[in-house]
Structure 1
């Protein structure tokens, strides 16, 4: 009997057709079967995709090949239509009523009285505990005794200016800036810094001065010289027009810097597989060669606590923390230490300025020191070499620091015979990779000095030292413009601004009317992007083929003791040239040392520092660069990352309140570069000035400071890869461009295959001296 259970084919001779007695039931069954097939297919596809995804993530981190980030394709054209270096908008002249002599005397007396009161308050201030991250932070941004001395007279003028303004303007009225008054002449003002003493005797020399003086013969004691104010590209925007930290455009308080950090500064971009951590390390090393902002300190460099209301210092500007802060609430912390930058002496009434303690030029001060005293401390005075210490296994390390208050040394490590180090820059111990680079460059000096000594046995210690210093400084300039800046700025900016090193011949673009002084915005905001490029986990490799090990970044801060262990220098270097840089420009990185349990939010400190310095708001910087100036938040669509823009709207009342650091680093990167248009503009302007405004630029034909063409061609062979090969303990293979990842055209190769300088070009050159500078290629406009 045939029914619905009868198979369609049964036996040898089944019926050709079978008619079903209940077609509706069969139809429903077919639908269910079809649905099951579809579900099974979807489930199978999902499982396959999951397996592939997991396999891919294990074998090749998903962050290795991130989705394409948006790119700004139009701003480069706008920037290239500008004339670099850009024209600064100078601080206007004094725009208040003429100050009567008696009023001036009264104001200065008020300033001196305030200084005395400040001194007494500092004596009561207990300072910051040495174990705290704030102590280490303040010590890492070391303020030299000379800077502390200069800040005293600047503080008097700051208070005096406020007294004059208070008498002339009612408190409810706000002036954007009071302008710069005429120079004062008083016995308590620093003569040299105020230009009241004789100008330095700038005898022709083949070698730079330590502090940058005499580089520009028309401004020998001002432009690019250490212990001078930063250059202003735009007038300062202080709350009172004099020195009080910046406020919102309507006069109300700006959102707390920590709230800006936690709200806006979140990961916006994935890791960039094209570049390595060495890019960030060199950026920090370079930054420390040209900027060192002085902080307010107590007598003898004492740190000052700002979170104790009982002894609050007038220069305190702590970062307020919300009681429900997502990170700090569990520790009961409601205040982050922050002391204002020391005022720089302007020797006149007017708005507050800040001080750069080092010369603006890329001159190797990070290796050799920025004062005569420090440079002499670092020298052996034998064979032109720098002092070194020895590890237990006989390797050369930097000279040791035995100062228990340097913010780095720890008793438990000192008991083992291991100390932190000293170098040309006092921030050398800030992180392990930075310390390693300091060590490599000191070793590089001594290697070159030994070779020059062998080639020229009649040379004095002084000539060997100075000629080696000159070569190392030239190598730093070449590496910065040949390897570092092209990655940051992109090929179009480098080519059109003539910032690429020449392949042959001299560079004749020196212009004595270009002020190379580091700008306030560069030191305080735009060049701080390098802080954001270090990943939270740092790779260390015992060999190029070994398995990866990782160390948390915060464990490398103020912890250079690993360099005493055999092999660890090379492990750190291999990690730096093999670890991808992060583009998490909005990551609220919290510096977390071992004790105490909480650390510092570096983004909050950067935002707060910009307000401390009176940096104008983000829209004004776009306008300064010739870019579109946003009038509303909606004008920033397509300019900044959309997620960041939405968060800005939620925390700032107006687009005119957006902090420069926050706004500029939120921009979509320009085509071919790493950063947005505004930061690219400001960094390009500064490095164009550092090239065209440096009479000792390594490619200059000027004599007696210029190299011969033969020597210059040898310096052009320099690379950071070759320096790592020559000065590490046992690194034997590298990619030629170590700031870029290994890949086609940048394959890893033996060190022996890298170009090597031929120092025979330096044989028997005489002691350089001349009766006058040969002014080849000097342009004065």
Structure 2
């Protein structure tokens, strides 16, 4: 019977593998058939292995992300490892127990809920510059490269972590609420559900004695994988005209229901309504200038343009607005020249820094819990709590709701982080109906610890060479009243959590973000650019754009996208991430620069063919 079982395993492996080679998702090395059989037998083959078909250096970007780096072909696929900017810092109770680091005096750090409520008051204050769409698109692009199942873990798989069953489950790490909590001292809630991050170790891909490293479902490349998936899925395509599938609800075109969507409304809206429909818009434009192209030709070209569209908008518009265009030009992230540039370095693997997604969570301080809707003429219509739309997109399919929501994305201000006021829905009802109470920003700080990050002062040293040994050394970078708060929360300056330090920093000059946020995010922006063999600005990449085509991509803007595919959008301010002002006046869509798709016309394909 054992020989028969082994034979069946080998038959299964051969049928799946075909012309592919299996690699370890964690180590990035080729696996033998025996090793693959072992993963198959214990049910971990999906998490712990990457199947890579033979690479062709002339082929375009693969949907699964493999063969991006020809020397390490599995890197770029899903479930390949992050890297750490700084080494991990854990309190090890045993060889397999990695707990959050202790304070410099050897005691446990203060409760994360206590720290969050001490730094952030609760209320709603509108920002005077930024629109709410900047948050939604930032979250979408973060999901493109860092999508995890952490929330699903404690919402669906382990909803019991605050109950007696959670006390014996190592995966449970609930956030405890102090008795004098400003909100919950009268509610009776003393625990907020949360679990440890899912890792290669908990997934059976690496020994549990090795340092935990989170495992993710997204490719580490900016490739719009929330739209196209990370495997070839014919079900996403109409197989006609190069388009993605849409459905008609209440006589209006809408996105399909799919399990790949993130729980958050902003990601569903931006990812599907914008980039999903933008793909179809591009496919139509390409079909008009290339009537003889096949479905595959149209799909592949539309996907390539849509990805470039997204990356150009993310780097040159969204991050330029948030972090300061001149800052990013000075640091070599953005180019002042509109032509090609090639910064590719095949010694840099396409990976995400473990710090990056946690640092990005600072942006929850900009998150407004209200979804404000407007009529197409800009008149305010109504408000709906955005957390009540978690894992629920039916709301968007009723009547003209999509039109009103779209208008709100470029008319509604985001929250103002300068006043240290957190939106009450974000920090009390973060998951809406899915959980009685959820403090997203407390969870952010707790995950900071469970990822094993060193203290804030060590990252200041990494970024700026600072040698911070006392609270007095913070006076140039943090306001005095905030330093006093930190002294009440942390016994020693070296105890300060990375995210907590970023929360209270003064903003970087000519930007909307704290300096350490800027530093660590900038490192990832650079890494994503130099490690991607298919980066859209490269002249020498496979299927590279022509100079004229790249010039068209340089014209990309959120305003243009919303004019093209945003329901009911006929006018908008050119800088859609910023509120209308005297130098950012709302204008007709006819005045927003448009892409000329004739530059993608195939000379061999004429209207008479």
TM-score (norm 2): 0.85
Residue 309 of structure 1 pairs with residue 161 of structure 2:
no
Which position in structure 2 is the counterpart of 1:669? 507
Distance 1:495 1:297 in 2: 38
Q: Does 1:367 align with 2:224?
A: no
Q: Distance in 1 between matches of 2:314 and 2:443?
A: 27
How many pairs does the alignment contain?
Answer: 561
Q: Which residue of 1 aligns with 2:197?
A: 341
Tell whether 2:184 aligns with 1:322: no
Contact 1:200 1:220 in 2 (8 A): no
Match 1:426 to one of 233, 248, 261: 261
Task: Assess if the C-alpha contact under 8 Å between 2:573 and 2:586 holds in 1.
Answer: yes
Report 1:279-678 matches (<5 A): 279-295=134-150, 302-310=157-165, 312-344=168-200, 347=206, 350-372=210-232, 375-392=233-250, 394-400=251-257, 422=258, 425-427=260-262, 429-431=263-265, 434-501=268-335, 503-523=337-357, 525-547=358-380, 549-584=382-417, 586-588=420-422, 589-592=426-429, 595=433, 598-678=436-516
Describe the superposition over 1:562-599 as per-residue Cα deviations: whole angstroms up to 9, x where unpaired.
32223221211221211222232644432426648942
Q: Does 1:762 align with 2:600?
A: yes
Q: 1:734 to 1:596 in 2, by over 3 A?
A: closer
Work out the CA distance in 2 between the residues paired with 1:679 and 1:735.
Answer: 28
1:530 shift after superposition: 2.3
Q: How does 1:727-746 map to 2 (within 5 A)?
A: 727-746=565-584
Alpha-carbon distance change, 723 to 491 in structure 1, aligned in 2, over 3 angstroms: closer
| CA deviation map 1:162-183 (0-9, x unaligned) | xxxxxxxxxxxxxxxxxxxxx9
- Provide the rounded CA distance (Å) in 2 between the counterparts of 1:193 and 1:220: 17
Alignment of 1:257-272 (within 5 A): 257-266=112-121, 271-272=126-127
User: Could you say what the CA RMSD is over the residues aligned between the two structures, in angstroms?
Assistant: 3.1
Specify every segment of 5 or more residues in structure 2 that has no aligned partner in the other structure, as ranges. 1-21
Report SS of the residue matched to 2:310.
Answer: helix
Shift of 1:298: 7.8
- Output one character per residue of 1:459-505: Cα deviation in whole Å (capped at 9) or x when no partner: 22222111111110000011011111112222332112222245432
2:229 maps to 1:229 = no
> Are residues 279 and 153 of structure 1, via their aligned partners in 2, closer, same or farther at CA, if it must alter by over 3 Å?
closer
Counting only pairs closer than 5 Å after superposition, residues 37-52 of structure 1 correspond to structure 2 as: none
Taking the aligned partners of 1:700 and 1:509, their CA distance within structure 2 comes to: 8
Q: Matches of 1:436 and 1:694 in 2, distance apart?
A: 24
Contact 1:239-1:251 at 8 Å conserved across structures: no
Residue aligning to 1:165: none
SS of 1:625 mapped into structure 2: helix
Partner of 1:211 in structure 2? 64
Determine if contact 1:257/1:607 at 8 Å carries over to the other structure.
yes
Give the whole-Å Cα distance in 2 for the aligned partners of 1:543 and 1:670: 36
Gaps of 5+ in 1: 1-149, 158-182, 401-421, 768-781
Q: CA deviation at 1:386?
A: 0.8
Q: 1:578 to 1:198 in 2, by over 3 A?
A: closer
Q: 1:347 to 1:720 in 2, by over 3 A?
A: same
Residues 40-80 of structure 1: per-residue CA shift (max 9 Å, x gap) = xxxxxxxxxxxxxxxxxxxxxxxxxxxxxxxxxxxxxxxxx
Equivalent residue of 2:121, what SS?
Answer: coil
Residue pairs, 1:128-207, within 5 angstroms: 188=38, 200-207=53-60
Structure 1 equivalent of residue 553 of structure 2: 715
Q: 1:765, 1:602 → 2: CA distance?
A: 53
Change in Cα spacing, 1:295 to 1:282, as seen in structure 2 (3 Å) is: closer
2:221–2:528 contact (8 Å) kept in structure 1: yes
Change (3 A) 1:765 1:370: farther
Distance 1:488 1:597, change over 3 A: closer
Q: Give the Å deviation of 1:747.
A: 1.4
SS in 1 for 2:128: strand
2:75 maps to 1:238: no
Per-residue CA deviation, residues 512-564 of structure 1 (Å, 9 max, x unaligned), is 223341111111x2111222212243431112342453333434433433322
TM-aligned CA deviation for residue 668 of structure 1 = 0.2
Instruction: Give the distance between the partners of 1:300 and 1:255, measured in 2 at CA.
Output: 25
**SS where residue 539 of structure 1 aligns?**
strand
In terms of Rg, which structure is larger?
A: 1
Q: Which moved more, 1:753-762 or 1:585-594?
A: 585-594
How far residue 432 of structure 1 moved from its aligned partner, in angstroms, is 5.1
- Structure 1 residues 350, 587: CA separation in 2 closer, same or farther (over 3 Å shift)? same
The offset of 1:434, in angstroms, is 4.5
Paired residue secondary structure (2:560): helix
Q: Is the strand fraction higher in 1 or 2?
A: 2
- Shift in Å at residue 437 of structure 1? 4.8
Between the aligned partners of 1:353 and 1:547, the Cα distance in structure 2 is 46
How far apart, CA to CA, are the structure 2 residues paired with 1:431 and 1:191? 32
The answer to whether the 8 A contact 2:378-2:411 is kept is: no
Residue 125 of structure 1 corresponds to none
Distance (whole Å) between structure 2 residues aligned to residue 729 and residue 218 of structure 1 = 45
**Secondary structure in structure 1 of the residue aligned to 2:100:** coil
Q: Distance in 2 between matches of 1:726 and 1:296?
A: 34
- Distance in structure 2 (CA, Å) of the matches to 1:192 and 1:316: 24
| Separation (CA, whole Å) in 1 of partners of 2:575 and 2:155 | 44
Kindly provide the CA deviation profile for residues 595-650 of structure 1, in whole angstroms up to 9, marking residues without a partner as x: 48942111110011111111111111111112413211221123123332211111
1-side partners of 2:46 and 2:85: how far apart? 24
User: Structure 1 residues 552, 644: CA separation in 2 closer, same or farther (over 3 Å shift)?
Assistant: farther
Q: In the alignment, what sits opposite 1:121?
A: none
Give the structure-1-normalised TM-score.
Answer: 0.67
